[in-house]
Structure 1
Amino acid sequence: MLKKRIIPCLDIMNGRTVKGINFVGIKDAGDPIELAKKYVQEGADELVFLDITATIENRTTLLQLVERIASEINIPFTVGGGINTVEDVSNLLNAGADKVSVNSSAVKNPSLITDIATTFGSQCLVVAIDTKFEADEWKVFVHGGRTPTELTTVQWAQQVEALGAGEILLTSMNNDGTKGGFALDITNQVSTAINIPVIASGGAGTKKHFTEVFEQTKATGALAASIFHYGEIPIPELKEYLHTKNVAVRLT
């Protein structure tokens, strides 16, 4: 049976790990290199690094920091933020990233998805979708959740799969940082509408929330930030709990 993945996320601003609630109220959460090393030791399955202001500040991702983190870890490492070209992807892979995550640039230029997948393979391309429920439907947002689009979430997920994406990182803006649980409805809708892996993100607050997202949706991974950064739920403890609930995970 395919093991479910537990994935910490490092949201980076000015070289530091930060965390907010509903994409605002950002506060410091620690040194990204030390956190990355800790997560490897605790048995995280993968690590995601998102330079959350790169797109807004119109710059590329922090390559030197990516290199430093990559040199310290030995688990799959996804990097996103400010990726607009195939060259940007090449630079990140050369710096040590295993996968790249595109969001706003993919919405602006969907052919970028195909260009990256054709050049480097679908296996290294994650399309991040920030989604928000308002006016009775889930819509896609860009620019770090600041800008709404007319795209509906399930249709966009299907489109990015068709264009060559290998995986989707689905973040509910409504649930982000609330610790009230994952958005099971949209996660289930997206994960059943496509055939590529979906990582659920936004809202993890208890161990039970992870059980719910794996039992009630087809998500293959669950991502969280603050509960891991602040030591509220240690990863080994979470995995042992999931194991007792018959969720297939890689135990450390």
Structure 2
Amino acid sequence: MFRPRIIPVVLIDGRGHAVKSVNFKNKIDLGDPVNTVSIFNAFRVDELVLLDIDATNSQRLISLDLLQDIASEARMPFSVGGGITCLEDIRNILSTGAEKVVLSSIAIERPEFVREAVDKFGSSSIIVCLDVKSNFFGKKEIYINSGKRNTKLNPLSTALLMEKMGVGEILVQSIDNDGKMKGYDLALTAEISASVGVPVIALGGAGNLQHMLELYRSTCVSALSAGSLFVFQNNQHAVLVNYPKQQDLNCFRNVR
């Protein structure tokens, strides 16, 4: 029976280390991302998302050498984002073995680039990540450059624009909830997933399977992703790479 994809997200910093953040700050070093991927292999995860969180601000592409090492180890589909600025970057990332690329800052600054990427590589290869944060007045807006710059764009309007550009999936990430392990932003995810016709992936705040199940029951998301949930043993941030057992994931079946 059908269940949503459950996707670990691995963040990579400028040193090529796997890390985890809280509100896009206070990074905790998790070590070699290739080793992390190897552990996820053993758990037979559905798929992975790999994001270089320093690439855009450093004006560089995620390391292709690192991606080749990861691809040689990975036994699951994986998507990659970090520093993409042109079609050649996408081609190079896909050539390492990645199934999809994740566009973030470039998609917000140049929405037409999403259309160009879709026309060249197909919508199924393109994900757009929307990083959403509450401003000083509590209004949720799109941020870019790893949460450092507020575009003042409305998340829903931006999601609808990305759909118009032909994107295959939209990853909705809550910066406010990032790393807190207290649950997803239900209102944000519900609004976007109910309004667009493309699959939506939720990210930011999951601390247990119940958080995921609550979101899946109350929204139209098609995939649930998390970082801290799959790399920490508890909310005290004791590092332990993990993934739910297949029987535990049966709670998602027949929910819809």
TM-score between both structures, scaled by the size of structure 2: 0.92
- Unpaired stretches in structure 1, ≥5 consecutive residues: none
CA distance in structure 2 between the aligned counterparts of 1:121 and 1:244, rounded to whole angstroms: 33
In structure 2, the partner of 1:37 is 38
CA distance in structure 2 between the aligned counterparts of 1:57 and 1:240, rounded to whole angstroms: 42
Please, what is the CA RMSD of the aligned residues?
Answer: 1.5
Change in 2 beyond 3 A, CA 1:61/1:245: closer
Code of the aligned partner of 1:89: I
CA distance in structure 2 between the aligned counterparts of 1:147 and 1:157, rounded to whole angstroms: 18
Correspondence 1:197-212 to 2 at 5 A: 197-212=199-214
Code of the aligned partner of 1:163: M
CA distance in structure 2 between the aligned counterparts of 1:91 and 1:246, rounded to whole angstroms: 37
CA distance in structure 1 between the aligned counterparts of 2:27 and 2:243, rounded to whole angstroms: 23
1:247 is displaced (CA, Å) by 5.5
Query: 165, 174, 177: which is aligned to 1:175?
Result: 177
Code of the aligned partner of 1:228: F
Code of the aligned partner of 1:234: N
User: Is the CA contact (8 Å cut-off) linking 2:142 and 2:154 kept in structure 1?
Assistant: yes
Runs (4+) off by over 3 Å: 231-234, 244-248
Correspondence 1:169-248 to 2 at 5 A: 169-232=171-234, 234-237=242-245, 239-244=246-251, 246=253
Query: 159, 162, 172: which is aligned to 1:160?
Result: 162
1:231 is displaced (CA, Å) by 4.1
CA distance in structure 1 between the aligned counterparts of 2:254 and 2:211, rounded to whole angstroms: 12
1:136 is displaced (CA, Å) by 4.2
Change in 2 beyond 3 A, CA 1:240/1:58: same
CA distance in structure 1 between the aligned counterparts of 2:25 and 2:96, rounded to whole angstroms: 29
- Note if 1:8 corresponds to 2:8: yes
1:36 is displaced (CA, Å) by 0.7
CA distance in structure 2 between the aligned counterparts of 1:7 and 1:81, rounded to whole angstroms: 18
User: Is the CA contact (8 Å cut-off) linking 1:30 and 1:229 kept in structure 2?
Assistant: no
| SS of the residue 1:177 aligns to | coil
- Unpaired stretches in structure 2, ≥5 consecutive residues: 235-240
Code of the aligned partner of 1:124: S
1:2 is displaced (CA, Å) by 4.1
In structure 2, the partner of 1:72 is 73
User: Is the CA contact (8 Å cut-off) linking 1:47 and 1:76 kept in structure 2?
Assistant: yes
In structure 1, the partner of 2:152 is 150
CA distance in structure 2 between the aligned counterparts of 1:244 and 1:161, rounded to whole angstroms: 30
1:245 is displaced (CA, Å) by 5.4
In structure 2, the partner of 1:131 is 132
Identity of aligned residues (%): 36
| SS of the residue 2:244 aligns to | helix
